[in-house]
Structure 1
Amino acid sequence: MARTRPRPALPLLLALVAAVIPGPGGAQVSIQLSETILPRGASLQVNCSSSCSEGLDLGLETQWSKVELQHGPNWKLFELSDIEEDSNLMCFGNCGTVQSSASATIILYSFPERVELDPLPAWQQVGKTLTLRCLVEGGAPRSQLSVVFFQGGEELHAEKLGVNSTNPNEITTKVLASRDNHGANFSCRTELDLRPQGLQVFLNVSEARQLRTFDLPGTSPKLNSSDLLEVGTRQKVVCYLDGLFPASEAQLHLELGGHTLTSKSTNRGDLVSATALVEVTPELEGTHQLRCVLELADQNREAEKTLNIYSFSAPVLTLSPSEVSEGSQVTVKCEAHGGAQVVRLSDAPPGDPSPQVSFTLNASADDDQRLFRCSAALKVAGQELLKNQTQKLHVLYGPWLDEGACPRNWTWLEGSQQTLKCEARGNPSPKVTCSRKADNARLPTGVVVTVTREMSGTYVCQATSSHGNVTREVSLTIYPPQNNLVIAILVILLLIVLLVGLTIYLYNRQRKIRRYELQRAQEEAMKLKAQAPPP
């Protein structure tokens, strides 16, 4: 509690505040004080005097300790000490047989011994009314003591002490909590106004109390997670809640099966979220509860979700053997594990699903690179889960040349860029070479060459692999380039002939139209003449 307590800045004047009572022969007693208002516990000098000239007995009546400092024939100066409350002082004088007196009142002031703002709640919900209580002990005169409430440096409410309260030591005011109040400092201050007594306003300030406000929606947090988790995987779990304040002070905890998960919390605006990465181990297999607990202020919000953790092994698909020569037998078998059932094995004979399905085939060239697929199913929490396994069959067979991959007849323009494409099928891939029958001259395949007349002829293309060889004759014809000038002249002549023919056609057509229109006009004239009346 801060206190401002300077000594009164009054000149040391003797203020006459006595009620004067005349004595015998017109004698009077007067009382003079050095101060009329002074702090509690202070000292005071009092001068008692009388106009009596003889037989004077002069004294001061008070409850406080007094010491006579000086005296004269008709006056005495006393000092009072440790004055604790307002008092009436009386100077009396006996002049002969008659007694007279004079009295004065002293007023004490004191600062409050305690100015304290009642502790605030740890958290205050936004929209709820908060009562601020300022406790004041001591302080006088009470009629000149008031209390002022502050939020930071802003004045909220001012009131005289004890005016509107049943407790004279308590002043209250109400504040509607808002988000703007979060983190604000509240305090109260007493003001002892002694300006009417010629002094000043003395202030006592309480220690500040910080308010923390919060706001929570009526909804529960949201949990984002798959209902089904597979052993051996890593799954992300997210919990979030929007519309709360302050999001930065909210705590989110994720629990799985009663164990707290390591999570990372973030907040943005009024949204807070927590993310955890779950390592799904075999020990977790079964049904567990995933819980999200949000804590803010003294409030909790919870969300819960049931997770089914399962183990599901992929089916095992085997080709025995996986690489065979053409005409050999291959056994295709699919097996499921861990309670799953084989749903389907491609190309297997129809039958009921079972943990194992197999069949045998005679491998042909068409089976090379053939893909077999096996599917297994497992039911978890009413849902059917599938896993697939695939295998390719490799069939070894000899070379094969056909018209589509290696045409028998080729016609190329001399000087052009061409590529001889002669490809053979087979496993392993055959090597193809083409040689001219007449002189064994080689013509490379799959390579761009410049065509010359000397390349023409009949070639024998041979495809060779470890599984045999096959040949095919290919005829290559080379034709010379045409004279471009002759071609251009022929094209121009053809265009001229077409243009002349079109002109003649249009001319004849126009003549026929005019002839037809003249004939129609003559026929109309004859009809009109025949319909005219005789003269």
Structure 2
Amino acid sequence: MAPAGALSELPLLLALLGALLPEPGDAQTSVFPTEATLPRGGSVLVNCSSTCEEEAFLGLETPLTKEERDTGHNWMVFELSDVEEDSKPMCFSICGSKQTTARISITVYRFPEHMELLPLPPWQPVGENLTLKCHVWGGAPRAQLTLVLLRGEEELSRQPAVGEPAEGTATVLAGRGDNGANFTCRAELDLRPQGLGFFQNTSAPRQLRTFVLPMTSPQLETPRILEVGTSEKVVCSMGGLFPASEAQVHLALGDHRLNTTVTYNEDSLSATAWVEGTAENKGDHLLVCAIMLGNQSQESWRNLTVYSFPAPNLTLSEQEVSEGTQVEVACEASAGLRVRLSVAPAEPWAPSVQFLLNATAEDNGRHFSCSAALEVAGHVLYKNQTKELRVLYGPRLDESDCLGNWTWPEETNQNLSCQAWGNPVPRLTCLRETDRAPLPIGDLRPVKKQYEGTYLCKAESPRGAVTRKVFLTVLTRKNVLIIVLLTAGAILGAVVVAICLYNRQRKIKIYKLLKAQEAAALKLKTQATPP
């Protein structure tokens, strides 16, 4: 390769030679090929020739590395190698005193050195525009270099490569269908007009993730109050999510995150957790549920009060006593609480209540209830303790529980009830006095004549015994007819007596009326006669 100084002086030298040499005529210089497209670092053979009738002086002026490969009458072939950039070498010839030139246009093509689709956002909201950007460094010739942005195989934009780096952009409206879609940038170098073909290179793909998070708060179902020693379920749910399976849930009581189980559906989720009331977390807390999807989040919160409410203490001096024993009933509450006893509901609430009772048989099985009240977060809560009093008393066989006389028609359906009371429950036996046959207590279907008689019923327990006679009379059909006739006769007699009494009273009234009229007439006559 000629030194740079020599190359700069070559045109002056050629011009001087042309002025000194005689002019041969209209000789021309030509070059082949006139245009060449090479890969970067490639080589090309250049043929310089002259139409001079005489022997012409030929040469090739270029800063490129050249080497003479062949020569002949008025032609010369040079090889240009390691061509890195576009160039326009010049062939020249001197024919006589005249110099002519011809240039070859060399275009160097090269693929882009580096191309990249700029990172996509981690999440893209559905319904918002997304701008894609592609940067390409290097690549030539730029006139044949095009940048293409693609979604999968779908072409989004096509732009010429301009600047360094060249930038290609495209704007898309993100939809649900774009979730998981791959976006790429492709560089296309079209050298088919130069007969070299079509070249393309594609960047590494980038995947888009789209999402939908409604602008509403999650639905939070939680108790407002929680007692120490108990646990309650908390449920946080939300619909309209996309993709629902990518959503995350944060459930926490104050600074304590709860162990949460999340169930996903097509476009919704439901998260459940158990919150426990402990002595350590007694007081007011904020229960928070946050649902996060993409780069957004929505949350709901509720106030939760953890409280302690010991049950009241109800005591009976004795729970099992004999009839006539005095029993003390006491109702007490923990510090800060007030109580009320069921036997005195009208009394005001107090820290403690006492009640004295002289136990009777009617008090057996009586329940006493001690109630305590506590106000928590605007709610009034009650706790009760109940105890039963057992009173021991001897057997009772009263008229109301076992009638003394039973009279029934034969062959009818009846129910014979006879029950004894006492604590402990007495054993009841009813035997007929004549033959000690048992009294058929219960359903008699039908009543038989053989049941008739006088029975002695005895109720006995460890606390004593009582007896009662029971008379059972069974009426045959003849007895029933006589009773019916006697009853009808009695009714008829009563009617006749009533009629007789009515007539007698009516006659008395008429008689008294006549006597009164006669007395009145006599009085008038006496007054009318002169003395």
Q: What is the TM-score with the length of structure 2 in the denominator?
A: 0.77
Answer with 368-377 or 98-107: which moved more.
98-107
Q: For 2:65, give the aligned amino acid.
A: S
Q: How many residues align?
A: 455
For the pair 1:231 / 2:228, whether they are aligned, the reply is yes
Distance of 1:133 and 1:349 partners within structure 2: 81
**Aligned pair 1:152/2:149, yes or no?**
no
Q: List aligned pairs for 1:270-309, cutoff 5 A.
A: 270-309=267-306
**Aligned counterparts of 2:154 and 2:401: Cα–Cα separation in 1:** 94
* Contact persistence 2:215–2:298 (CA under 8 A): no
Match for 1:345 among 330, 335, 341? 341
Does structure 1 residue 116 correspond to structure 2 residue 116? yes
Letter in 2 for 1:331: E
Farther off after superposition, 111-120 or 45-54: 45-54
- Could you tell me which amino acid in structure 2 is paired with residue 24 of structure 1? P
- Confirm whether residue 376 of structure 1 aligns to residue 376 of structure 2: no
> TM (normalized to structure 1)?
0.77
Which of 209, 214, 218 is residue 215 of structure 2 equivalent to? 218
Select between 362-371 and 237-246 the one with higher mean Cα deviation: 237-246
Code of the residue aligned with 1:256 in structure 2: it is L
Matches of 1:29 and 1:440, distance apart in 2? 161
2:38 & 2:409 partners in 1: Cα distance? 131
Which is further off, 51-60 or 130-139? Answer: 51-60
Amino acid of the structure 1 residue aligned with 2:130: L
**Identity level (%):** 54
Aligned to 2:175: 178
2-structure distance, mates of 1:80, 1:448: 137
Say if 1:65 and 1:82, in contact at 8 Å, map to a contact too: yes
Partner residue of 2:259 out of 262, 266, 277:
262
Partner Cα separation in structure 1 for residue 473 and residue 454 of structure 2: 9
Per-residue displacement from partner, 1:286-322 (whole Å, max 9, x unpaired)? Answer: 2223233333333343433332221111111122211
**How is 1:422-461 mapped onto 2 (pairs within 5 angstroms)?**
422-443=418-439, 445=441, 453-461=449-457
State whether residues 62 and 89 of structure 2, in contact with CA within 8 Å, keep that contact through their aligned partners in structure 1: yes
* Match in the other structure for 1:81: 81
Cα distance, 1:447 vs structure 2: 8.2
1:419 Cα deviation from its structure 2 partner: 6.8
> Residues 412 and 53 (structure 1 numbering): CA distance in 2 closer, same or farther, change over 3 Å?
farther
The 3 A distance-change label for structure 1 pair 325 and 102 is: same
For structure 2, which runs of at least 5 residues remain unmatched after alignment?
1-22, 479-531
Partners of 1:336 and 1:113 lie apart in 2 by: 86
2:332 is the counterpart of 1:335: yes
User: What do the CA deviations read for 1:377-410 (whole angstroms, capped 9, x no partner)?
Assistant: 1223343221112122111122222344434416
2:382 to 376, 382, 386: 386
Instruction: Tell me if structure 1 keeps the 8 A contact 2:148–2:185.
Output: yes
Residue 127 in structure 1 maps to residue 112 in structure 2: no
- RMSD over equivalenced CA pairs, Å: 2.9
Tell me the secondary structure at the aligned position of residue 143 of structure 1. helix
SS in 2 for 1:284: coil
2:161 maps to what in 1? 161
Q: Deviations over 1:15-50 (max 9, x none)?
A: xxxxxxxx9366554322397223222121222334
With 60-69 and 326-335 compared, the bigger mean Cα shift is at 60-69
Alpha-carbon distance, 1:54 to partner = 4.9
Determine the C-alpha separation between the residues in 2 that align with 1:456 and 1:351: 57
Q: Which of the numbers 432, 453, 472 marks the counterpart of 2:468?
A: 472
Instruction: Show the 5 A alignment for 1:317-336.
Output: 317-336=314-333
The 1:38/1:350 distance shift into structure 2, 3 A limit, reads closer
Counterpart Cα distance in 2 of 1:70 and 1:472: 156
Q: In the aligned structure 1, how far is the partner of 2:133 from the partner of 2:182? A: 14
> Secondary structure of 2:88's match?
strand
Alignment partners' CA distance in 2, 1:157 and 1:30? 44
Q: Partner residue of 2:352?
A: 356
How far apart in 1 are the matches of 2:176 and 2:429?
Answer: 87
Other-structure match for 1:246: 243
What is the CA distance between 1:361 and its match in structure 2?
Answer: 1.3
Shift of 1:331: 1.2
Aligned CA distance change for structure 1 residues 413 and 83 (closer, same or farther; 3 Å): farther
Maintained 8 Å contact 1:33/1:44: no
Contact 2:130 2:172 survives alignment (8 Å): yes
Deviations 1:214-272 (A, max 9, x none): 33333444433222221111122233344444332222222223222222233334434
User: For each residue in 1:63-116, what CA deviation from the matched residue of structure 2 results, as whole angstroms up to 9, or x when unmatched?
Assistant: 221222333344333222111222223333334554443332222222222221
Q: Distance in 1 between matches of 2:346 and 2:469?
A: 47
Contact kept, 8 Å, 1:89 with 1:104, in 2: the verdict is yes
Larger gyration radius, structure 1 or structure 2 = 2
The equivalent residue for 2:71 is 71
Query: In structure 1, what is the Cα distance between the partners aligned to 2:413 and 2:39?
Result: 121
Residue 89 of structure 2 aligns to a residue whose secondary structure is strand
Q: Distance in 2 between matches of 1:56 and 1:449?
A: 155
User: Which sits farther off after the overlay, 310-319 or 273-282?
Assistant: 273-282
Do the aligned partners of 2:261 and 2:273 also contact (CA within 8 Å) in 1? yes
Give the deviation of 1:204 after TM superposition: 1.4
Once the two structures are TM-superposed, the CA of residue 212 in structure 1 deviates from its matched residue by 2.0
